[in-house]
A and B are shown apart, each in its own frame.
Chain A
Amino acid sequence: MVSMKTHNILRIFTAALAVCLMVISALAQDDPDPNSPTPILLAGPDRTRVLAVPTRRIRLFDQGAASRQAFPPNSKITIYVRNVDLMEGEGANAFRVYAEDAKGRQFRFPILAFRVSDPEKSTYAVTIRLRDDIGYWQSPIPNGDLLIRIAWRGLTSDRLRLGYGSTGGSIKDDPIPFSSARTATSKFFNNEDAAESSRPGYVGYRWSGDRMRFLEQAAFGPTSALDSRIRRIGLRTWLHEQFEAPYPSLTNPYPNIPLKSTDAQNVTLGCGANNNTLEYRTCIRDHYTMYPAQAWFFKEAYYGEPQLRHRVSWALSQIWVISGVDTQQASWLIDYHQVLSEHTFGNFRNLMKDMTLNPGMGNYLDMARSTRNNPNENYAREILQLFAVGLFMLNPDGTLQLDGQGQPIPTYDQNTVNNFTKVFTGFSFCNTTCPNSAPGIVNYKDPLILNQNNHDITAKTLLSYPGAVNQNIAPGLNGNTEIDLALDNIFMHPNVGPFVGKLLIQHMVTSDPTPAYVGRVAAVFNNNGLGIRGDLKAVVRAILLDPEARGDVKTDPNFGKLREPVQFATNIFRTFNVKSANLAQNSDGVFYPQANNLLGTMGQSAFYSPTVFNYFSPDYVIPGTSLLGPEFGVMTTGTAIARANFVNTMVFAQISTSENVPLGTKLDFAEMQALAAADATGNQLLDALNQKMMHGAMSASMRSTILTAVTNIASTNPLARAQQAIYLVATSSQYQIQR
């Protein structure tokens, strides 16, 4: 026990030291060029075919394979990539080799070896096996050419032919090479950018396409003001500011909702009998629904200063899920969110502890009712499966560990869950002795407290892993002691870094990160550079500054993510200066009713996740593709149309005021209208939308399609022209994908 305490004190001291050091380093850092070079796959003499050699000849009579330029299934071949600039530790797991067959099916070939192949260290030999790594489709039929490409840091090479079984076949070369399908953004969008960055001593962030991308990843979307600020101060300084910024914004504190009786009709402590008066309806809405929490959340997303903390807290709330479906009162959820956001830039171990003892969580996953005689395994199971370690043993880069038979290795079994269930028994609401205890209400604000008599004091066997911490818990311990021992057992599991790191990357940057990216983030989780494990601030910084996240243009067809409905809405809103319905003040942040509102019909009503598994699963694969796309779990025929209808409402109308919508919400298109008025060709309008919404990478064909629709409207109606263009960009699949 003594050593544990000493350990904690040391941890705190080191943490404080770390903060001091980071302050110094953050202020001194300039942002490097975020653009990685585009990998080039070496072609053979005919330029359309990849240069490939068999790595090992299986049969002597197959020696002619190289000249025939076709390779049998499952054979090992070596291809060559150049124009990459590797950082320390970057190797095979930073690259992916994709192939497409004549039927349009996509495959991934595993990389077996990666090494420098020339003395200048400019070309690398990549040994791959011709076997699908994803397993979604049956392997390609070996009867003709495949198109293969190599991807790295969200950038892809052009595609070249590879004979598979034989050469030829019906596949067609790409009409436009991948690397030039998206025009590279010029360094500056406008004179302001150019002027700013040519100033002596400029340390800001001059890469305009990447600024916008960054603000979609790190905030609820770009605004002009925030974009200018980052152009001036750079990413690292902004991150540093954001880590220190008070949360929530001083002008938008957490709503202070009092606890009510769990019986809504209680006369003194509820809302009284339902007499359907305005007073009654308002009382129910403000206490017994998530209405105040949602309104607060969206105001902070639209206008708040501490965007990063709000964004990461939102991501964490989709991992450590509780939901208004089973959370009766807004006050419960608000307390949960306060606890969550308190640790968003803290240590994951502290987050684990305070979430475990949070009464809202205790209710949602039943821990508050779990006793030694009536144990409930809900929380024990989910903290393992969903919040911290996951089902299978992971490598440090998040890939699955496999046993001798090639099968994944379960992280734990039912017996482990049973043992954790025992650890979590005996905790319940603090209804008499805590600051918020009061007669007639259940205390959903103070942490759960232990009744040792209800705690299972038998010995427990917890998670087993190499060097396992506290795997065996002795009988007879106090429940509070045991919780710390058990949470340390989970926290020290080697899965936590890659598991949590990958989830956060998926929420912020890209649905299918490379193992190398996950590995870099996991390494920072494991050690922030100062020996501290679980430093979320360092993890968030690592995610956002990683070369796979950064860069003006991303060409990899598998890079990016579908904007979830909340991001889709808030990104559009912030881009167009969201205001109240009369445009005279700020929006009230209200989507109403709580669940089946404009967001709910798109599949994501904030704080009303249907289950503890969140609105969508991190493992969701888009049907008909082999692509991992969690947010596509809420992209159906129904919600696809709901997205268009949402844009229609916000572009051509507004969220109007009503009994439950005091101020309403409307977008302000004045700036776009002015650009439409200034230029009858529509080009200025399209330039601005390209910059604001598409990172400057709108394709020429998309641009001309929209321009045709814009100029269909008389130039004397610039508002209608602006609306036409905004509707078309916002509803386009090109915009709905954040990439």
Chain B
Amino acid sequence: MTESRREFLKKSGGCALGMAAVATQMQHLGMMSAIAQKVDDDSSRPEGGDAYKALVLIFWSGGNDGNNMVIPNHDSPTISNYNAYSAARGAQGLAIARNTLLPITVPRMGALEYGLHPALGPVAGGTNNGIHELWAQQKMAIVTNCGTLVQPTTKAQYQMSSHRKPYQLFSHSDQTAQYQTSISNTQSFTGWGGRVSDKMTAGSNPAGLIPMITSISGAQLFTAGQTTLPMAINDSNTLLANVLNPAGFTNTGGPARLTAFNQLRSLDLESNFVAAASHVTDLAMQANSALQTPGDTTTVFPNTGIGRQLRQVARLIKKRTDLNVNRQIFYCQIGGFDTHANQLASHTTLFTQFSQAVRSFYDEMGVQGVQNDVTTFTLSDFGRTLNPAGSGTGVGSDHAWGNHMFVMGGSVLGGDFYGMNTPNGTPFPTLTLGGIDDTDSSTAPRGRWIPTTSVDQYAATLARWYGLQPDQQSLVFPNVANFPTANLGFLP
């Protein structure tokens, strides 16, 4: 603690300077607290030859409706039961029929039964049984009522303007950014994946042939570090050997062209833009050389966007020794969750794609013998209103806040809910519009849960398992100390 504090002060350049920077206008970056942003780029330590580990993020883009993903499947008189859920959503046609729910027993809820969305189990035309059965195998956990927070927030505090809350709640871009940065009090240009990579690359992948982070879904804030530039590649439709391979150079003058192509990137670097473009291309060319070794997955993956992304991740994991990496972080994304309308059909499609792909990936990790070394987890923009938007076949839901997240993998202490209790004494929110967990108390409350577990706690738990040193935790997750614990316990 002493050491991390000293390191922190050192990195802030002294208190006076830190505070001075706060007072400065950050005209193109938005405003960032000097304290939140100070992440060093050159301190990291060897992790000491421990086993390979990978974190695989699946971002549900658009704001997944957790209310229709994890549903009370009991009749308890004391906490929200199926009827409470149905009362809030049934009339407009958004409630999932009780007899279709996939049952899960939840020790944390007094062994009551909850239900998962039916598309998370076996489905017609599926190539596997989906993720539901991982619950009983205790390889899947659910972190409940998770969301962006600056500090613990009660309903009374939510209504106080002096209480520090995330900026621009319910806004896609801002909330997505906060999930990806784990900084909710101010804008940040680095993601928590990128910052973990900044801290750990030199120690864990000292001679890695590719960056620690790979996105199979383009440039993302999550993957951006201060010094980390992630690798971004296409999905499995492109073989790894081709994914960063520039075409050409075999016709007349080809070798000379390749030589010049490479030389030009070392010139005219006094322009910062030219230098930046050349740096990205350099990185691609270096990774390309490393990706030429053969090898592919053996498990059947569904031919969907998320299926192809996860298959590409599995290919890279299989090459981990050739690539000389001991730690990897992957970003995948499945979009379409902004279900303001027509939610029932689209949600079923999305969950089918998600569940089938994740299960294939889980099985492939087993085949590769790294099931215990790879943890898959989800993030999303936000949850959605319990109160439906519209009604009938077009029914949907609007932007909200607290939400549920899946964590899956051989090391996960699965088969239970994790997270901080809400005022109802359990980690699952009270499904009452205008109730104790709803931000709204007006005449037309929408049911937007005030999160009790912060993204910071969730992320710090994942990063801790991944190997982030305790004394660096506060540098990667500057606000996690505002919460009672930085370890939610779902990983050893």
Residues of A within 8 A of B (CB): 73-74, 106, 110, 129, 131-139, 141, 174, 176, 178, 181, 366, 369, 374, 376-378, 381, 385-386, 391-392, 398-400, 402, 406-408, 410, 414, 417, 511-512, 515, 557-558, 560-562, 601, 603, 610-613, 617, 619-625, 627-629, 632-641, 644-645, 648-649, 652, 699, 701-702, 705-706, 708-710, 712-713, 717, 720-721, 724, 727-728, 731-734, 736-737, 739
Contact = CB atoms under 8 A, between A and B. Distances in A.
B293 interface: no
A624 B27 contact: no
A392 B273 contact: no
Contacts of B187: 619
A686 B64 CA distance: 54
Interface residues of B, number: 95
Nearest to A378: B340
A639 to B, nearest CB: 7
5 contacts: A135-B34, A620-B189, A622-B276, A637-B244, A638-B284
A395 to B, nearest CB: 8
B215 interface: yes
Interface stretch (B50-58, B117-125, B249-257, B477-485): B249-257
Interface in B241-277: 243-248, 251-253, 256-257, 259-261, 263-265, 267-268, 270-277
B341 interface: yes
B212 interface: no
A725 to B, nearest CB: 10
A529 B69 CA distance: 57
Contacts of A717: 252
Contacts of B270: 174, 176, 178, 181, 557
Interface of B: 11-14, 16-17, 20-32, 34, 37-38, 40, 61, 167-174, 187, 189-190, 194, 215, 218-219, 224-234, 243-248, 251-253, 256-257, 259-261, 263-265, 267-268, 270-281, 283-284, 287-288, 335, 340-341, 388-391, 394, 398-399
A652 B256 contact: no
B402 to A, nearest CB: 15
B13 A139 contact: yes
B21 A702 contact: no
A73 B17 contact: yes
Given A625-B276, A652-B248, A652-B251, A132 B21 contact: yes
A133 B458 CA distance: 32
A134 B37 CA distance: 11
B234 A734 contact: no
Given A366-B340, A378-B340, A414-B170, A392 B215 contact: no
Contact of B29 (A129, A137, A178, A621): A621
Nearest to A510: B273
A603 to B, nearest CB: 7
Contacts, number: 290
A400 B260 CA distance: 44
Contacts of A131: 17, 20-21, 24
Contacts of A620: 189
B264 A376 contact: no
Given A512-B28, A623-B194, A629-B276, A705 B23 contact: no
Most-contacted residue by chain B among A134, A645, A734 (CB, 10 A): A734
B260 A619 contact: no
Contacts of B168: 385, 391, 410
A713 B394 CA distance: 64
A400 B22 CA distance: 12
Nearest to B168: A391
Contact of B247 (A391, A617, A645): A645
B284 A557 contact: no
B305 to A, nearest CB: 11
A386 B173 CA distance: 10
A619 B228 CA distance: 18
A560 B271 contact: yes
B284 A637 contact: yes
Q: Which 7 A-B pairs have the closest CB atoms?
A: A636-B232, A712-B256, A733-B277, A637-B284, A406-B23, A709-B260, A408-B31
B28 A640 contact: no
A625 B167 contact: no
A731 B261 contact: yes
Contact of B288 (A73, A181, A641): A641
Contacts of A624: 226-229, 276, 279
B253 A705 contact: no
B261 A613 contact: no
B189 A136 contact: yes
A369 B341 contact: yes
Residue among B23, B30, B257 facing the most chain A CB atoms (10 A cut-off) = B257
A409 to B, nearest CB: 10
Given A74-B16, A557-B270, A702-B264, A641 B246 contact: yes
Contacts of B261: 644, 727-728, 731
Contacts of B265: 732-733
Contact of A381 (B171, B219, B230, B279): B171
Contacts of A634: 218-219
A400 B30 contact: yes
B358 to A, nearest CB: 22
A223 B190 CA distance: 40
B14, B174, B189: most-surrounded residue (chain A CB, <10 A): B189
A135 B37 contact: yes
Nearest to A370: B389
Contacts of B16: 74
Given A603-B219, A728-B257, A739-B271, 20 more contacts: A129-B20, A135-B29, A174-B270, A381-B170, A385-B173, A400-B27, A557-B273, A613-B172, A624-B276, A625-B272, A637-B233, A638-B284, A639-B232, A641-B281, A645-B247, A648-B246, A648-B247, A733-B264, A734-B267, A737-B277
A739 B272 CA distance: 11
A619 B276 contact: no
Contact of A139 (B21, B32, B264): B21
B277 A640 contact: yes
B17 to A, nearest CB: 5
A122 B16 CA distance: 36
A614 to B, nearest CB: 10
A649 B189 CA distance: 35
A665 B270 CA distance: 36
Nearest to A702: B267
Contacts of A410: 167-168
Given A400-B31, A652-B251, A731-B261, A636 B267 contact: no
- The listed residue with most B CB atoms (<10 A of its CB), out of A129, A178, A706, is A706
Given A366-B340, A377-B399, A645-B247, A562 B277 contact: yes
B227 A702 contact: no
B273 A138 contact: no
Contacts of A640: 277, 280-281, 284
Nearest to A603: B218
Contacts of A638: 218, 231-234, 243-244, 284
Contacts of B260: 705-706, 708-709, 728
B39 to A, nearest CB: 8
Given A624-B279, A709-B259, A636 B218 contact: yes
Contact of A737 (B17, B227, B271, B288): B271
